[in-house]
Structure 1
Amino acid sequence: MSRRPGQHPEWCAHRHRCGFGEHRAEPITLDAPGLGRVILTRVQASDGREHAEVRLTVALAATETVARQQLMALTNDLDTVLSRAVYASKRPARRAA
């Protein structure tokens, strides 16, 4: 996709969200009250490469042992998510019928 310098992608939120040569979409927020929150933002860096920025907040148990178990499970789950995303980006694009 080619754009002139200064042009925004169609998904870009414009205004104050763009800076330092990058473009940012409006964040998508998923709330699970009392449990946590996920904020997902599409970003195009100044070099043109796109990525998803993911911020995750998770409520931890008050007990240290349980909190550590939660963190280990979260680490394993995030590894799975990252592996799936990388795998998906390496698959050939599907052709339209």
Structure 2
Amino acid sequence: MSAAQPSRFDTTSEARHLPSRGQPHFRDSIVVLEDVTELACRIDRSIMTLRHAGILDRARAIVLGEFVRCPLPAGVDYSLADVLLDVLAPLGVPIYGGLPLDMASAICRG
């Protein structure tokens, strides 16, 4: 068995192009997800698009980086972590979150 390779995917900008001939595949990969200034509902929809397209089916693990300025609707009693776990848990792979990958922060700094 080969070692898992990390794959970075900007959830919303990439998912809107699916399905296509050039769609990514994450077989035996560790998928890194993070985003900046995106609504939580759009992140949810983008990840669901990836799931329904089968793109995440053979990933070995999911790593959640930073989700900077990704607001939830006002007055809700759940967090973005709850949303992410809800859509990713059915994959049945390890999910690691809160990792300071600093890519999102670097984007914000310009």
Q: One fold, TM greater than 0.5?
A: no
Q: TM-score, normalised by structure 1?
A: 0.28
Look at both structures and tell me which one has the larger radius of gyration over its CA atoms: 1
Q: TM-score, normalised by structure 2?
A: 0.26
Higher relative contact order (CA 8 A, sep 6+): 2
